[in-house]
A and B are shown apart, each in its own frame.
Chain A
Amino acid sequence: MPLSEELKQRIAAEFPKYPEKRAVLLTALHFIQAEHDGWIPKGASAEVAALLEIEQIDVEEVISFYSLFHAEPVGKFHLQICANLSCCLAGARPLIRTFEEKLDVRAGEITEDGLFSIAEVECLGSCGTAPMLQVNNEPFLENLKPDDVPAILLRLRERATAPAGGKS
């Protein structure tokens, strides 16, 4: 997968902020994911390595280390629900179960139409407004109840079919 010239330029524009190009690695991977449906396609690591003047393995071990980077496809809407202590105390488990039932997939899976994937994640700092959901890298949805799930999914499905495109 070749990186677009525009993307390469956006990555290069970050270089002056740091004394070494390598420091742009996380930012570059964020950019690539945002442009490629939320995951980092095979082949991207070699190109990023060349741009940053590091080895491909340096890129790949970073991709595998950080939980926000995905080396496999995720849904167009990646639903991340915190299952840490404060959220669990506030009912995260019934919330996750409701998403799983409505979408007929388990956490870690992706729906057949590719629209949704569910991930149980660690604390996202929404402990006073638990339980919560983060769709892709959007602002959090907080103080959720299982009853809120159908409306959330409806809104996301509407965005997916909206003419302007629903990507964020």
Chain B
Amino acid sequence: MAVVRYLLPPDGQSWSKLADYKKNGGYAAAENALESMKPEDIGTAVKGSGLRGRGGAGFSAGIKWSFLPSDGRRPRYIACNGDESEPGTYKDRQIVERNPHQLIEGLLIASFANTIDAAYVYLRGEYRTAYDNLRAAIAEAKEAGYLGKNILGSGLDFEIYVHRGAGAYICGEETGLMESLEGRKGQPRKRPPFPAVAGLWRQPTIINNIETMAQVPYVLRAGVDSYKTIGTEKSTGNTIFGVSGCVMKPGPYELPLGTPLKEIIFEHAGGLRPGRTLKAVIPGGVSMPVLTAETALQVTMDHDTLQKNGTLLGTGAVIVMDDTVCLVRVALVIARFFRHESCGQCTQCREGTGWLHKLFQGIERGTGQMRDLDTIEDVCKFMEAHTICALSDAAAWGAGYFVRRFRPEFEAHIEHEGCPLAGVSFEV
């Protein structure tokens, strides 16, 4: 079946201008919703579509919306998560740079469906082009009556504000984001209370990733039944697989969930460089457990299949490693990243990420010992499921699974007192 693409314009095109977006069917879903749908019908449609969050956790968007209290408390907010910073991930950037009106339309529909007063798009501070394009698109949408007071004569008032982050991975964590948006260090909050009940400024808040919100107009445009035919039974719709690493054509590929990973790597991303063989693949950003080549060639990219195979879909960021790549160095880069990004609140994470980094550094430099591998395993266990947020788990999975799944390579490094692939592998 031919792939219908609805998140990104065809290659090389940008629909950042309102006229281009409207020419391609844009805002029709929002107009129709505001004119002829009841807010609760939209929530039912989003729930029925099976749409799952595209920020990493994969939770049902419709169910998340239904957690908002029905006590009439106002104001109510949307926090839209555009702090994209999971290494390997660059999909939200594509949407905001090239199709920002679809995000705006999604936010507008979500606001109508959930009686929202304002949305804050938390965009990572480094994304300059995305920031400029989104601000311009919001101004255009406002001018055209899609934002502001009494939108399209419906009586709905709704504003979208773009809030720039300032360089901290932890602000992509939903409560870290809220702390940051309120003007504090991005240190995650304990839950409960959950954001739906007490989010931004302790008011009811829904928080969704940019891509999740950009899916919403298409759910209404296509209709629930049609949307559900894309993807698999429990992982519906398209997503943008951001492919990077050792492939001929790295790039963002919009494809249905459930697409075979082998097809993504070897057809869409142009395969490996000549003469190379596949060694390992991270399927969903560096937080997610790495797959061996053997497993990677068998899986399809949906939540259930990946979970059955010992990893998770995460952000769908596919990082491909061929036989030239030293996996000790890969684990070192990942451990270094999490050490840098730990917010420091929880001991397990603050200390654990530091330990992991030092242990991998020693092995990479040739001063590691065999018992370090068991220490890594111990440290990872101590880091998992013991902290306020999942950064600690991510560090333990992202770096730790390299040892769990490729232990002989680490042992060889230790025996060799350095990299057996020195001069061949990438430099770290």
B is a partner of A: yes
- A contacts, CB < 8 Å to B: 17-20, 22-27, 29-30, 52, 54, 58, 61-62, 65-69, 80, 83-86, 88-91, 93-94, 121-130, 134, 137-140
Please count the residue pairs between chain A and chain B whose beta carbons lie under 8 angstroms apart in the complex: 154
Report whether B330 and A23 are in contact in the complex, using a CB–CB cutoff of 8 Å: no
Tell me the complex Cα distance, A85–B343, Å.
Answer: 21
In-complex Cβ contact of B250 among A29, A128, A140 (8 A): A128
Query: Could you list 30 A-B pairs, sorted by A, with CB under 8 Å?
Result: A20-B183, A22-B182, A23-B183, A24-B183, A25-B183, A26-B166, A26-B180, A26-B183, A30-B166, A68-B165, A84-B87, A84-B333, A85-B337, A86-B87, A86-B88, A88-B329, A90-B244, A93-B427, A122-B85, A123-B85, A123-B87, A123-B337, A125-B84, A125-B85, A125-B89, A125-B124, A125-B126, A125-B127, A130-B250, A137-B125
* CB of B266 closer than 8 Å to a CB of A: no
Tell me the complex Cα distance, A33–B265, Å.
Answer: 42
A86-B88, A128-B242 known; A137-B128 Cβ under 8 A:
yes
Report whether B166 and A86 are in contact in the complex, using a CB–CB cutoff of 8 Å: no
Q: In this complex, what residue of B is CB-closest to A23?
A: B183
Given A62-B184, A66-B166, 16 other A-B residues pairs in contact with their CB atoms under 8 A: A17-B159, A22-B183, A22-B184, A23-B163, A66-B186, A68-B126, A85-B319, A88-B426, A88-B427, A89-B245, A91-B426, A122-B87, A123-B88, A127-B319, A137-B126, A140-B128
In-complex Cβ contact of B169 among A19, A24, A93, A122 (8 A): A122
* CB of B321 closer than 8 Å to a CB of A: yes
Q: In this complex, what residue of A is CB-closest to B118?
A: A17
Across the interface, which residues of B come within 8 angstroms of A122, CB to CB? 85, 87, 169, 337, 340-341
Across the interface, which residues of B come within 8 angstroms of A52, CB to CB? 183
Measured CB to CB, the closest approach of chain A to B244, in angstroms, equals 4
Report whether A93 and B182 are in contact in the complex, using a CB–CB cutoff of 8 Å: no
> Which of B90, B159, B169, B286 has the largest number of chain A CB atoms within 10 A?
B90
In-complex Cβ contact of A127 among B88, B184, B329 (8 A): B88
Tell me the complex Cα distance, A124–B86, Å.
Answer: 9
Across the interface, which residues of B come within 8 angstroms of A83, CB to CB? 333
Across the interface, which residues of A come within 8 angstroms of B164, CB to CB? 26-27, 30
Considering only CB atoms and an 8 Å cut-off, how many residues of chain B contact the other chain?
A: 58
Q: In this complex, what residue of A is CB-closest to B87?
A: A123
In-complex Cβ contact of B334 among A54, A85, A90, A125 (8 A): A85
Tell me the complex Cα distance, A49–B84, Å.
Answer: 29
Tell me the complex Cα distance, A88–B319, Å.
Answer: 12
Interfacial residues of chain B within 154-209, with CB under 8 A of chain A in the complex: 159, 161, 163-169, 180-186, 201
Which 9 pairs show the lowest CB-CB distances between chains A and B? A25-B183, A66-B166, A67-B167, A68-B167, A93-B427, A86-B244, A127-B244, A22-B183, A123-B87
Measured CB to CB, the closest approach of chain B to A87, in angstroms, equals 9
Q: In this complex, what residue of B is CB-closest to A94?
A: B427
Across the interface, which residues of A come within 8 angstroms of B168, CB to CB? 65-67
Across the interface, which residues of B come within 8 angstroms of A134, CB to CB? 126, 128
* CB of B243 closer than 8 Å to a CB of A: yes
Tell me the complex Cα distance, A134–B327, Å.
Answer: 27
Measured CB to CB, the closest approach of chain A to B297, in angstroms, equals 19
Across the interface, which residues of B come within 8 angstroms of A27, CB to CB? 163-164
* CB of B306 closer than 8 Å to a CB of A: no
Q: In this complex, what residue of B is CB-closest to A86?
A: B244
Report whether A139 and B244 are in contact in the complex, using a CB–CB cutoff of 8 Å: no
Tell me the complex Cα distance, A120–B112, Å.
Answer: 43
Tell me the complex Cα distance, A18–B165, Å.
Answer: 15
In-complex Cβ contact of A125 among B90, B329, B330 (8 A): B90
* CB of B62 closer than 8 Å to a CB of A: no
A25-B183, A88-B333 known; A139-B124 Cβ under 8 A:
no
Across the interface, which residues of A come within 8 angstroms of B341, CB to CB? 122
In-complex Cβ contact of B185 among A23, A61, A125 (8 A): A61
Across the interface, which residues of A come within 8 angstroms of B75, CB to CB? 19
Interfacial residues of chain B within 124-141, with CB under 8 A of chain A in the complex: 124-129
A85-B319, A125-B90 known; A23-B128 Cβ under 8 A:
no
Across the interface, which residues of B come within 8 angstroms of A90, CB to CB? 244-245, 250
* CB of B366 closer than 8 Å to a CB of A: no
Report whether B182 and A23 are in contact in the complex, using a CB–CB cutoff of 8 Å: yes
Across the interface, which residues of A come within 8 angstroms of B124, CB to CB? 125
In-complex Cβ contact of A126 among B90, B161, B181, B427 (8 A): B90
A19-B201, A85-B334, A88-B426 known; A127-B166 Cβ under 8 A:
no
Measured CB to CB, the closest approach of chain A to B130, in angstroms, equals 9
Tell me the complex Cα distance, A54–B185, Å.
Answer: 14
Measured CB to CB, the closest approach of chain A to B89, in angstroms, equals 7
Tell me the complex Cα distance, A68–B171, Å.
Answer: 13
Report whether A125 and B93 are in contact in the complex, using a CB–CB cutoff of 8 Å: yes
Across the interface, which residues of B come within 8 angstroms of A23, CB to CB? 163, 181-183
Across the interface, which residues of B come within 8 angstroms of A54, CB to CB? 183
* CB of B106 closer than 8 Å to a CB of A: no
